[in-house]
A and B are shown apart, each in its own frame.
Chain A
Amino acid sequence: QSVLTQPPSASGTPGQRVTISCSGSSSNIGSNTVNWYQQLPGTAPKLLIYSNNQRPSGVPDRFSGSKSGTSASLAISGLQSEDEADYYCAAWDDSLKEVFGGGTKLTVL
């Protein structure tokens, strides 16, 4: 049972906009920033969004993040086949640990 709650799956067709939610509590998302990671099959997670809504260099602007209260969201616009992957949210929890969501498997139909 992950501390942060994500839907197990999401899907969309090429060109569509898809949103993935991440729900936490006052001790993690409510008081700290949220990061998002993309994991392609057989590879290590890759940082996609940091500090709620910032993109590292090289991440397309099709990816965006937001946070409100104890929830966060990742949006992918102009969906492409190569976006098919697992997506994880993460945040520091004030109990002195990093916590992750259970992951959302994105399927591009």
Chain B
Amino acid sequence: QVQLQQSGPGLVKPSQTLSLTCAISGDSVSSNSAAWNWIRQSPSRGLEWLGRTYYRSKWYNDYAVSVKSRITINPDTSKNQFSLQLNSVTPEDTAVYYCARFRLSSVESYGMDVWGQGTTVTVSS
């Protein structure tokens, strides 16, 4: 079955870059029936979608307006994974970060049916 395994540091200093990776097994980051997402969760902001990457003959990205100037989501086809980079972090970026697969076809969407285990990231000096 499809699994997502997250990795990355749990502590990031203010003004630095948060970097997380989501390794995919059982599916392909290049699948044309999936989009690969990053979501975060904090008590103050609840569940917040950050962005996604997906392949439909070429690569596309969509980012949340709230982080658009600071975020990059990149696919890595050689390792079948995708990554999150969030620049210039502040304590407000402290949250649990999740990666998730959104499955869809040409006629239907199936929601975020596979999630990573979550990574607690604290922004603190």
Q: Specify which of A43, A47, A54 is in contact with B112 (CB 8 Å cutoff).
A: A47
Q: Is the interface of A mostly helix, strand, loop or mixed?
A: strand
User: Looking at chain A, what size class is its interface with the partner chain?
Assistant: 20 to 34
B113–A56 touching, CB < 8 Å:
yes
Most chain B C-beta atoms within 10 Å of own C-beta, residue among A49, A50, A56, A95: A50
Stretch at the interface among A11-19, A76-84, A98-106: A98-106
A98 CA to B46 CA in the complex, in Å? 13
A50 CA to B62 CA in the complex, in Å? 21
Q: Which residues of B contact A95 (CB under 8 A)?
A: 65
A35–B111 touching, CB < 8 Å:
yes
Question: Smallest CB–CB gap between B60 and chain A, Å?
Answer: 11
A95 CA to B117 CA in the complex, in Å? 28
A100 CA to B47 CA in the complex, in Å? 6
A47 CA to B46 CA in the complex, in Å? 17
**Which residues of B are at the interface with A, using a C-beta cutoff of 8 A?**
37, 39, 46-49, 52, 62, 64-65, 98, 102, 108-113, 115-118
CB<8 Å pairs between A and B, sample of 13: A2-B46, A33-B109, A44-B116, A46-B115, A49-B111, A50-B109, A51-B109, A56-B110, A56-B113, A97-B64, A99-B49, A102-B46, A103-B46
A45-B47, A51-B110, A97-B49 given; name 19 further pairs at CB < 8 Å: A44-B115, A44-B118, A45-B115, A46-B115, A47-B111, A47-B113, A50-B110, A54-B110, A56-B110, A56-B111, A56-B113, A88-B46, A88-B47, A90-B47, A90-B112, A92-B109, A98-B49, A100-B46, A103-B47
**Which residues of A are at the interface with B, using a C-beta cutoff of 8 A?**
2, 33, 35, 37, 43-47, 49-51, 54, 56, 88, 90, 92, 95-100, 102-103
